[in-house]
Amino acid sequence: MSSPPKCAPSKNLNTAYPHFPTAKEMYAHLREITKPGGEYVVRNFVGVIEDISVEASTVETELFPKGALEYYTKKNMGWQYSQEEYDTWQLAERGGAQGDYREGMQAKMKNLIDCLQTEPLSKRGVIPIPYSTVGSQTIDWTDQGQNKCCRELHFYLEDGKLKCTGIVRMQNANIYVKNIHFFATLIDHVAKELNVPVGEYTHWITNLCHDRNATSC
């Protein structure tokens, strides 16, 4: 049995935010608080998921059956997927370029794992996802591919576990299940590489809407 990872003494203020046992309960809450729909926006939502395991984070909906969740996660992880999977599951209604995070993902994961293996106390364990192939100096608000919904995933070792905080610019409640399945898979992958258990996940959303009917999501 491996020894627990070295962790900095800390105080996590996420105890003050709403806590949810799993992604399923958070999903129901997000749908409820955005129920007015249309242009209605909930701002600066923060919530904590206690069990962010892949199994607990597989929340099937009419828009996202399990096959769709697994396909989009494969895609965003930078893993191989078949043409048949693409033809079966790829739909504009399930998100476009804003939710495509695969560019450089394998290299980003490798860097993250190296960071936390080399320096467990590091505050630089980050998966950045703001742009695909260009830098922030060329930002164009009209280009969906430059306006990714998830901006960064921050990883840290705390209480002997791998924990993560996701910073999300825009979250459509009905797309949430796709995002959280990907995040859970990524967290699980990194934790296995580090040989540490997974702790809670903190989800920070600046703009939260019911669905993609809102303007300029």
Q: Could you tell me the pLDDT band of residue 58, with boundaries at 50, 70 and 90?
A: very high
Q: What is the pTM of this model?
A: 0.93
User: What does residue 100 show for φ and ψ, rounded to 5 degrees?
Assistant: -100, 105
Q: Could you tell me the pLDDT band of residue 133, with boundaries at 50, 70 and 90?
A: low
Please name the residues in contact with 44: beta carbons below 8 A apart, sequence gap of 6 or more.
204, 205, 206
Question: To the nearest whole number, what is the mean pLDDT of the chain?
Answer: 91
Q: Mean pLDDT, to the nearest integer, of 134-144?
A: 70
Beta carbons of 5 and 163 less than 8 angstroms apart: no
Residue 215 predicted with pLDDT over 60: yes
Residue 1 predicted with pLDDT over 50: no
At residue 2, the pLDDT reads 65
Structural domains of the chain, with CATH: 13-89+100-133+142-209 (3.30.572.10)
Quickly count: other Cβ atoms within 10 Å of residue 181's Cβ.
24
Separation of alpha carbons 113 and 111, rounded Å: 6
Residues 170-188 pLDDT 10s: 999 999 999 999 999 999 9
- The percent of residues above 70 in pLDDT, for the chain, comes to 93
At residue 102, the pLDDT reads 84
Residue of 114 and 215 predicted with greater confidence: 114
